[in-house]
Amino acid sequence: MKKLGLYFDTIKYLKCKQLVYQTLYRVLKVKPLASYVTPERSINTRLLAFSDYLPTLCCADTKNRFSFLNRQVTFAAGVDWAYAANGKLWNYNLQYGYYLLQEDIHMDIRLEWLKALHQSLYTGTVALEPYPVSVRAMNSIRFICRHTLTDTALLSAVHGELNFLSGRVEYHLLANHVLENAFALLMGGAFFQQPEWHNMGREILLRELEEQVLGDGAHYELSPMYHQIILYRVLELIDWYQNYENPDNLLLERVCSKASLMLSWLRNMSFSNNDIPHVNDSAPSIAYDTASLLNYAASLQLEPMASVQLADSGYRKFDSGSYECVVDAAAIGPSYQAGHGHADALSFILYYKGSPVLVEAGTSTYEPGPRREYERSTGAHNTIEIQGANQSKVWGSFRVGYRANTTVVREEAGLLIAEHDGYVNRFGITHRRTFEFEASQITITDELLGEESMAGIAYFHLHPSVQYSLHHHMVSIPNICTVVFSDAVEYVEAGTYQFAEGFNSCCPSGVIKVAFKGKIITRIKFI
């Protein structure tokens, strides 16, 4: 019964459309690629023009050696396109085909790899899946257009993949997946002169970008990494589509407007050293970085929208000139696709003079297991935990049951008061956190509000580069700050945690745990 309740608490947030397609796609099984291929004589193409402004993401070499997510594999006897030893995400990267754009690898080798992958798809050794198909199709089209390739077998296979995608849009997942599908269908429709694909991609993009890009420019899954990924796709679309014969001006206008808004959010959220805060599912070296995307946009005569402040996303950023602090007053979102969300309400990340000081455990894996559970937990973030419980019920790899609702109580210059109700049902407690920002000091007041005084643990995760010493109720960080804890403090202890340097890469670092009852005041005084 407990497990049934957990499933109910998860499923109740889904849209009816998701439930319908979850059922439909379980009934309608995916066939091998051969079932979706059209006779070669019916395929027509029109070359698309790409600026190739951004450098290629290098992931392979001529020795059949592929490197993704900080794991490298050499295939001695031909590439195993179904290789699963490093997990599903690594295999997806193997299938994406970014190597097609690596000009340091001879054309014959790249063609051989792509045709071998297509052969695995024809035989069913590798299953067609909409997200890898979307990414691979776009990389394949760029590759074909760059080199004006006319190989009929190659064109037929890519056409077949898009034919499959047109009937398998990821409506059961929605969010960033359906956007990726739409970008691919629009590009594929333009390249193969298939109006039905073009129109399908157009309609999905107009609808989904309107919903998925919030008023302050954030992508609604609230992951800066996925925001960068989607923003790149938006810029790539503008890049080729503005030079396309007879473009849809309404679509181009809407997409350019969303690009400017998304650029604003990314610029507002990024730190002065070009880092993004790794909140929710975010990791370095996955997407093009902030500076690269801003420069790419400038090359397309696009600028961040002026005077847009962080608001709807729930994030706030305070910049004193010497320190930068990002506060997470966001809810897990969107409600119907919270798979990349963490139980991190009212957490914060702190940089000083362009270097990280207080961070979060980060994201190193999507594989189910203890590591994934920890990285999404409340205890992996700089916020308050009660009796080892998570504010929101994150479970599995990408599921969330009940979730904390976050409210901004008061906001003005240098002051933010927010609270969440993630502990109300279990403990009758509302966690309220007050941030007071001054030129050389941050004061954080945590209150556990309820009929009974409740004990909690405040976490402060230090970046691996930070040296510190603990003296009773004070942490000293040389040349940066002191952190003093006061009010109802029971004890302060230092421990270690595994900091995610990236996917599949962690290193030990220090964490300060402060036990208190009812209320605690934390003062961060900068040198």
Cross-strand bridge partners of residue 338: none
Q: Distance between CA 506 and CA 460 in Å, rounded?
A: 18
CA angle 511/286/252 to nearest 5° reads 130
Residue pair 356/465 in contact by the 8 Å Cβ criterion = yes
3 state SS of 522: strand
The helix-helix angle for 130-147 and 175-191 (nearest 10°) equals 30
Helix (H) or strand (E) holding 160: helix 152-166
Dihedral angle sign, alpha carbons of residues 437, 443, 446, 449: negative
Tally helices (H) and strands (E) across the chain. 13, 19
Question: Token pair of 502, please?
Answer: 């990236």
Positions in the chain short of pLDDT 70: 1, 40-41
Q: Distance between CA 131 and CA 500 in Å, rounded?
A: 25
Residue pair 93/69 in contact by the 8 Å Cβ criterion = yes
Give the contacts of 464 (CB within 8 A, at least 6 positions apart).
Answer: 499, 501, 507, 508, 509
Residues recorded for the chain: 527
Quote the pLDDT of residue 1.
66
Quote the pLDDT of residue 357.
98
Residue of 130, 216, 234 whose CA lies nearest to 172: 130
Q: Distance between CA 461 and CA 375 in Å, rounded?
A: 12
Residue of 216, 211, 257, 218 whose CA lies nearest to 234: 257
Taking the C-alpha atoms of 378, 379, 382 and 384 in order, what is their torsion angle to the nearest 10 degrees? 70
Quote the pLDDT of residue 158.
98
Cross-strand bridge partners of residue 525: 441, 482
Q: Distance between CA 20 and CA 14 in Å, rounded?
A: 10
Question: Token pair of 435, please?
Answer: 């941030």
Cross-strand bridge partners of residue 400: 394
Fold of 315-526: Beta-galactosidase; Chain A, domain 5 (2.70.98)
